[in-house]
Each structure stands twice: as structure tokens, then as C-alpha cells.
Amino acid sequence: MKAYERLIKYAAFPTASDESCETCPSTSEQLVFARALADELKGIGCTEVELDENGYLFATIPASAGLEEIPTIGFIAHMDVSPDVEDRNVKPRVVSCDGGDIVLNEELGIVLSEKEYPVLEKYRGKTLVVTDGTTLLGADDKAGIAEIVTAAERLISNGSVRHGRIRLGFTPDEEIGRGADRFDVKRFGASYAYTVDGSSFGEVDYETFNAASLRVSVRGKSIHPGDAKDKMINGSTPRRLPLSISDFCRRSSVPNTPAAIRASTI
């Protein structure tokens, strides 16, 4: 199966995460997809296929004979999609990108235009998987999963590419900032790992940003205005804050460094 065919298959699973839900995974739909993915990984010959109680799915591509001792590398992608746009009833289709407008939905007048999305220029002459414009496609990050699983299938079925042990990791709840929270790094057991959650052709991000966030509730003191002098306390008064915003930013900041490189050999 080709990677884009897998993406289309995966798009049928609604897997939006939900920030308001404290469970892990935050939505049960992600587990439905994870179980189907686990079955698929077993079917293509992966070993050690394990879905843990938090919805993290790990699997192994065994090393080629004689290469069992070289360091294990890992590939990671996330199973959830953004909750911001509808992800049910996705109607994916393959279209060619020739430089003109791509009409996603004639009835609703939804058009993907190069003018609005200049990045499309790079994809002229290629095919794209699109929706009817009313839903997410979910390529972030089901395209990453599709690419990893397709690569795994090829490596397992075609022994000509010799490789060490490869671990695969599929996480829930990345879109709501919790993807790494319960990732069992030790159990994953890779010396190096790459997240396949990309943007442009040939682009490799070699670092990330600190996505720490802070939610502050400050209580002031309310009192009838007629009697408020020296008694009412404004909640936004700096001395009421346990940790100043600037202090938080200083502690969580990282130096500005380039976030991506283009690797033409990739």
C-alpha cells in the first residue's frame, strides 16, 4: 500500500484530542485508531507491538541479521488531530496541482488558491490529497504515520536495505501539548529518534521551542465602591501575582536559534 492510500484510510478515523478532558488519551476515539493501527503493524510484520494504558503505541522493526547490536533509532508521529476544525466525515481525494486554483467545494465556493497559499507553487506537477473544504484532512499527523508505516512495510518485506533495530512510537494528544507527557522513553529504548510531523519537502527541524504555558488566576478583593478606598484590591496588581509573567518568560525562554535546515539530500 502506498503512503497516500494509508493517509486516506486513516482519515476515516476521527481522532481529535480535547484539551478540556484530563484523561490520557483525552478522547476515546484515539484509542479506536490506535487499536486499528496496532493490528496493521502486526499484519505487516512488526514485533513488540504494544498499546499501553495511556494510548501510546510502540512497535519494533527487527534488525537485519548481524546488525542487532548497533544503536536503535526511532520514528515518532502523533495520532490525534487538531480539535479546532471538524474531523468527521472527511472526504479525501487526490487532485493534481497544476498551478491553477483547486476547487475543493463547488457548491460552497471553497477554493485552494496559490495566491492565498503561495506554498502551492512548490507542488506544481505533483498530486495532492485534499478534502471537500469542510473538514480537516488530518494529515498532521496521519501523513507522518502513513509514511512511517509504509517505510516499515517496505523494510520488513524487502530485506535488501540492511538496518539495525528500529522502534516506532505513536502518541496521543500532541495537539493539546501533552504528547510527550507520558511517553515512556526507557521502554521506547531508542538511542536516537526522529519525529515525522513535517512541513516542506526536504526540510528537517533540528530543534524545537519550549511550549510551556502558564494559566494564572488572580483574586482581588471586591468591595462596594462607596466604601472601597484603601480596601478594594485590584486583581491585576503585580504584587498579587505569585510569579510574575516576565519571570516565567525568562525562566522558560530558549535562545533564538534557527529552527530548521534544508537538507537537499533528503
Residue numbers annotated as active site: 80, 174
Nearer to Zn ion (CB atom), residue 41 or residue 136: 136
Q: Using alpha carbons, list the distances in angstroms from residue 37 to 40, 49, 79, 184.
A: 5, 10, 10, 19
Nearer to Zn ion (CB atom), residue 160 or residue 213: 213
Per-residue binding string, Zn ion, 4-43, x by CB under 5 A, is ----------------------------------------
Task: Tell me the residue ranges of DSSP E strands in the chain.
Answer: 47-51, 57-61, 73-78, 93-97, 102-105, 110-112, 126-130, 166-171, 192-195, 203-204, 261-262
Helical ranges in 44-138 per DSSP H? none
- 87 near Zn ion, rule: CB under 5 A: no
Query: Could you tell me how many residues of this chain bind Zn ion (CB under 5 A)?
Result: 3
Nearer to Zn ion (CB atom), residue 87 or residue 140: 140
Instruction: Look at residue 14 and give its three-state secondary structure.
Output: coil
| Angle CA 79–82–87, to nearest 5 | 85
Nearest distance from C-beta of residue 80 to Zn ion, angstroms: 9
Per-residue binding string, Zn ion, 176-215, x by CB under 5 A, is ---------------------x------------------
Q: Could you say which of 40, 87, 141, 173 contacts Zn ion (CB under 5 A)?
A: 141
Nearest distance from C-beta of residue 78 to Zn ion, angstroms: 6
- 140 near Zn ion, rule: CB under 5 A: yes
Question: Which uninterrupted H or E stretch holds 85?
Answer: none
Nearest distance from C-beta of residue 140 to Zn ion, angstroms: 4
Nearer to Zn ion (CB atom), residue 140 or residue 173: 140
Q: Are 153 and 1 in contact (CB under 8 A)?
A: yes
C-alpha cell at 61: 522493526
- How many angstroms separate the first and last alpha carbons of the chain? 22
- 153 near Zn ion, rule: CB under 5 A: no
Site residues (vs Zn ion, CB under 5 A) = 140-141, 197
